[in-house]
Structure 1
Amino acid sequence: MTVGQVLLHKGSQVYWVSPRATVYEALQKMAEHDVGALLVMEEGRLLGVFSERDYARKLVLMGRFSRDTQVVEVMTENPLTVTRATPLSEAMRLMTEHRVRHLPVVEEGKVLGVISIGDVVKAIMGEQEVLIRELSRYVTENR
């Protein structure tokens, strides 16, 4: 299974925020869309990712205020990205190795979507359920 197949199932909706938006505005948008991260984009270019982890570790613990801090000050710059052709196992390896929960899907400089660790786990579980059903049917038919 590939990242592109996951995008086909979940959709390619991208939630993003300007680097000049306040952290408070970004948090509002995250709550509105019930997501754990936003891409940080300017003029169609991916600049970074702002996540709940960025909020907790780079803002709250530093004693800063969400209404007074711009996203660009606390976002994760130069995020890891994948393409539609990236195998899901590779995406999972990248997420695990680099301890990230969201990967933008980018091709030729254009953002095509975002996958989360939840999307990856759900897709892998779906694949395993199909395999189990097929094996069960095989065993039942060949007794």
Structure 2
Amino acid sequence: MCKVSALLATRGPRIYFIDANATVLDALSALECENQSYLVVVHQGKFVGVFSERDYSRKVILQGKSAISTLVKEVMSTDLPIVSSDDKAEHCMMLMNAYKTRYLPVFDEFEFKTVITINDLVKEAFDDEELAHVVKGVIGNGWGEDAYMGRSRIY
């Protein structure tokens, strides 16, 4: 079973930051410019959360807020579980499933390193039969076609 450190070694460094006091509009512009789905939120150089497209849709659009006046720190995700580079990919997948998140901050010795994403794990699953089994289990428990079909009916 692959460790987070191995996943990160194959992916390479790619961390896109935004200040917690930036507006959501600034964050959306950064997401578009970098073709990303999330940004690492920092305050005074320290990790404080993650801002994602999901945060925008659920905490700005659906709440009737304005992207121009809402600050990233008001809508970012701060309650994400964290992992270390020694954790296994299977553990990350289980955490993502349990917390219904697509992003896990990676810390080593209390120092922020990066974020591991669901995409990182899915790519790894293609090469790792044991992880592929876990991914299939997660998809079958809420992230699969049934869950998608249930949501599509409300639109």
TM-score by length of 2: 0.78
In structure 1, how many angstroms separate the alpha carbons of the residues matched to 2:30 and 2:111? 22
State which drifts further: 84-93 or 27-36. 27-36
The runs of 5 or more residues in structure 1 that have no matched partner are 129-143
Q: Give TM-score scaled by structure 1 length.
A: 0.85
**Residues in 2 aligned to 1:46 and 1:79: alpha-carbon distance in whole angstroms:** 12
Structure 1 residue 42: deviation in Å?
A: 1.7
Find the structure with the greater CA-based Rg. 1
RMSD between superposed Cα atoms in Å: 1.1
Question: Identity of counterpart residues, as a percentage?
Answer: 34
CA shift digits 1:11-68 (9 cap, x unpaired) = 1221111110000101111111111111111233211111111100100011111011
CA distance in 1 between partners of 2:76 and 2:117 (Å): 17
Shift of residue 127 of structure 1?
A: 2.4
Greater CA deviation, 7-16 or 86-95? Answer: 7-16
Q: Which has the higher contact order (CA 8 A, sep 6+)?
A: 1
Counterpart residue number, 1:13: 14
Matches within 5 A, 1:1-143: 1-128=2-129
Paired with 2:104 and 2:112, the residues of 1 have a C-alpha distance of 11
